[in-house]
Amino acid sequence: MDGDYVIGGVFSIHHYVQTVEHNYTTMPGPLKSTGSINGRGLRFSRAMVFAIEEINNSTKLLPGIRLGYQIYDSCASVPMAVHVAFQLSNGLDPEFYTSENCSKSGMVMAVVGTSGSTPSISISHIIGSFNIPQVSHFATCACLSDKRQYPNFFRTIPSDHFQAAALAKLVKHFGWTWIGAVRSDSDYGNNGMASFLYAADKEGICVEYTESFYRTNPRSRIQRVADVIRRSTSVVVVAFVSSGDMMILVEELSRKPSPPRQWIGSESWVTHPDMLSFTFCAGTVGFGIQKSIIPGLRNFLLDLSPTKVAASPILTEFWESAFNCRLEKSAATDKNVCAGTEDWQKLQNPYTDTSQLRITNIVYKAVYAIAHAIHNVVCQETNSTTQCDRLNGTEPKQVLTHLKKVNFSQNGYHVSFDANGDPVATYELVNWQKSESGSIVLVTVGQYDASLPLGQEFHINRNITWVEGRTQVPVSVCTDSCPKGTHKVLHKGKPICCYDCVPCPEGEISNATDSTDCFPCPNEFWPNAEKDTCFPKPVEFLSFSEILGVILATSSVGGACLAIITAIIFFQHRTSPIVRANNSELSFLLLFSLTLCFLCSLTFIGAPSEWSCMLRHTAFGITFVLCISCVLGKTMVVLMAFKATLPGSNVMKWFGPTQQRMTVLSFTFIQVVICTVWLIVSPRFPMKNFTIYKERIILECALGSAIGFWAVLGYIGLLAVFCFVLAVLARKLPDNFNEAKFITFSMLIFCAVWITFIPAYVSSPGKFTVAVEIFAILASSFGLILCIFAPKCFIILFKPEKNTKKHLMNKNQS
């Protein structure tokens, strides 16, 4: 239709172009469409006509200006799109300008279309040279946002850059980390899939395979793609495919049953009405352009009389295809003549289906965007009226400039372009659900708005039906999620989504699923059995409440009681010869020191404190030295007593009671000095030992100074060895009751106990170190009291006839 300003339109009304054999010897014939007519593409072209007629009837937009149109069929083919682009560009040729047509009504001011990214790229390169703006309704390739290559390109459909990000967020939202991907081998599919794979990688999604194909590929190629889908382990398949390509792939998949697959579709095919016939794809989820309402469009589409149809070859073809008849003057001879009364209202066809106006509204908005740009060029507002000039010599370049600035709303839908010529990206999340009749219907289940803040773009407002009618979200992972207490170990050479779940090492936990690493518990904590929580480590020390502590404490108290009872017996019989003969003063002092030795072991039991740690070894060291000093004094008394019996000996004068007391005090004082220096320089202190056991804390007393500790023990050992040597020397001295023999045996036990104590003490872990030390104290103490005092108590209590001076002085009895 002619007009003051002409708008071009390019739509895929057919899907195929007749193949032309080039022999390079003759001029090739014109390109011709083949195959059945695409009712949806025809509806898009008719929507453009409807919008132009609506604008021409408007008193607010371009008043007094009549828009015309030139609409072409690109047949979804690049060669045909190039051919159409040159036809649109020829509107600038001089032959169009005559003296009668000074308004340049034949000039194309802008182009709407085409229905695909690759054909749009071809058209943009050609008409861009003439600064003719192009507003596409279906070219979504993100590459077209590059203004350096496509300065004249605009679109009213969102870029695939936003759709790819939305699809990646959708896959991530439902927890799918192992997916397959197929794409059209075209600019739309390749660029869209590249954007999706980039977004999916950032979301941590792994792709098992990515396959490409095109509808003109041999069937073997399509079969190979279908076989890959059938053999794959991923349940979810993301398809960035044009509707024409997807139709061929799904037809191939329908020939041979495949495992259930959850399809995630791009807007190109997921809302295409022809695709809904494949019921095995029920449950498909994808993004579509928002559904809309265009008042008056349906009546316009159905207002086709035979006269109007006969004037258009395309409408004629569509009429004859829809009603299976032929119009008069038609080339079709194998059909009956149409009656002319066919009812469009009853026709079920994508052309007449206005229940899902999505891309149709995009076409409608594209026409209005161009009209607003032309309006801003040729019209001026004066005194509340709009004046438009038909003869101002408008160039497409001016329309191109004003297209960048358009900002309006039409039927409640906002239209504007950003710096890249893209609109605000908004999508509907659609789901293929089976109706009661068994057919598939499109159901809107959510929204996506890229203009909203990060994390708020995605919203689902109703339940989704999944593959095979399931209500549970299907699982598509390479490896199941690693539970708490484990971490992921990747397989070499495989995607990050394929891994083994390995339990955390000892002492480490993971408290989240799919943890990439485990982290250690703090020093005072240890993992539970599941290794998902840190619990405080149990604190271990030798306590009075445990069996071992009770046994040792009882033995200690029992030993002290035994020493006290022995002292009582000796006190009651202090005038008896056997008590007087064995230096009763040293005997009582020895029993007192043994009582302290038994009781000092109690300081080793219980939780270590600052005072108990300092008291333990000082009390032990001093009392034991006091004990050994008494034994040493008794041994020296025996030696001196027998030396005094020799003629002319005056030894006992030099080792009387006073000298004996001084000897004991001197030896003890040395130990007191050692212990005092130890406590002043580096005393023992309580500490938590984390090294012996990893899973529990040993509460113990640190040595403070190792030199001080071994000096105390070494001094005790030195006195014990000295006492042992003297006792051995006196063991064969004549007497009926030579105490040196019993002292020798007691010191032999004492030395044996403490010699074995050293390796046992060093090698015993935790609280058993303390137990070994207590055992050594008790064993040596019992050894002394039993070996030295038990024989005497036996004679006092059970053999009183031997407790006489005569018996003791009888040297002939053995």
> Residue 421 has what pLDDT?
95
> Residue 336 has what pLDDT?
80
Helix 767-798 with 584-600: angle, nearest 10 deg: 150
Q: Residue 631's closest CA among 526, 546, 749?
A: 749
Q: Residue 670's closest CA among 611, 718, 603, 721?
A: 718
- Please tell me the total number of residues recorded for the chain in this structure: 814
Q: Residue 788's closest CA among 737, 746, 728?
A: 746
Q: In the predicted model, what is the mean pLDDT of residues 333-352?
A: 80
Per-residue pLDDT at 32 exceeds 90: no
Q: In the predicted model, what is the mean pLDDT of residues 625-648?
A: 72
Rounded distance, CA 457 to CA 448, Å?
5
Q: In the predicted model, what is the mean pLDDT of residues 616-633?
A: 86
Rounded distance, CA 399 to CA 377, Å?
7
Rounded distance, CA 77 to CA 120, Å?
10
Predicted confidence band of residue 93 (pLDDT cuts 50, 70, 90): very low
Per-residue pLDDT at 570 exceeds 50: yes
Per-residue pLDDT at 431 exceeds 90: yes
> Residue 422 has what pLDDT?
95
Kindly report, residue by residue over 703-739, the tens digit of the pLDDT.
888 898 889 888 988 888 888 887 777 666 555 455 6
Asked if 446 and 429 touch (Cβ cutoff 8 Å), the reply is yes
The proportion of the chain whose per-residue pLDDT surpasses 70, expressed as a percent, equals 90
Angstrom CA distances, 189 to 76, 185, 212, 240, stand at 14, 6, 8, 5
Kindly report, residue by residue over 107-131, the tens digit of the pLDDT.
689 999 888 898 999 999 999 999 9
Asked if 131 and 419 touch (Cβ cutoff 8 Å), the reply is no
Q: Tell me the Cα Rg of the chain.
A: 53
User: Does residue 814 sit in helix, strand or coil?
Assistant: coil
Predicted confidence band of residue 582 (pLDDT cuts 50, 70, 90): low
Asked if 114 and 70 touch (Cβ cutoff 8 Å), the reply is no
Residue with tokens 């014109």: 30
Rounded distance, CA 186 to CA 213, Å?
8
Q: Residue 75's closest CA among 14, 8, 11, 138?
A: 14
User: Does residue 499 sit in helix, strand or coil?
Assistant: strand
User: Does residue 323 sit in helix, strand or coil?
Assistant: helix
Q: Checking DSSP bridges between strand 499-503 and strand 486-490, what pairing results, if any?
A: antiparallel
Rounded distance, CA 148 to CA 159, Å?
17
Per-residue pLDDT at 10 exceeds 50: yes
pTM of the model: 0.66
Using alpha carbons only, give the angle 142, 148, 150 rounded to the nearest 5 degrees. 60
The DSSP H or E segment spanning 9 is strand 5-11
> Residue 52 has what pLDDT?
97
Structure token pair of residue 687: 């500490």
Rounded distance, CA 40 to CA 273, Å?
8
- Cβ atoms within 10 Å, residue 626: 23
Kindly report, residue by residue over 589-620, the tens digit of the pLDDT.
888 988 998 999 898 898 888 888 888 888 88
Residue with tokens 């008042």: 295
Structure token pair of residue 686: 């309580």
Rounded distance, CA 564 to CA 536, Å?
45
Per-residue pLDDT at 98 exceeds 50: no
Predicted confidence band of residue 647 (pLDDT cuts 50, 70, 90): low
Asked if 359 and 138 touch (Cβ cutoff 8 Å), the reply is yes
Predicted confidence band of residue 814 (pLDDT cuts 50, 70, 90): very low
Q: How crowded is the C-beta side of 352, counted as CA atoms within 13 Å? A: 13
- Please tell me what DSSP assigns to residue 732: T
- Bond from prior residue into 216 cis (ω within 30 degrees of 0): no
Q: Residue 451's closest CA among 414, 418, 427, 426?
A: 426
Kindly report, residue by residue over 344-384, the tens digit of the pLDDT.
888 888 888 888 889 999 999 999 999 999 999 999 888 88
Residue 688's beta-bridge partner residues? 699
Beta strand extents in 510-621 (DSSP E only):
519-520, 525-527, 534-536, 539-540
Rounded distance, CA 160 to CA 174, Å?
21
Rounded distance, CA 656 to CA 586, Å?
12
> Residue 103 has what pLDDT?
44
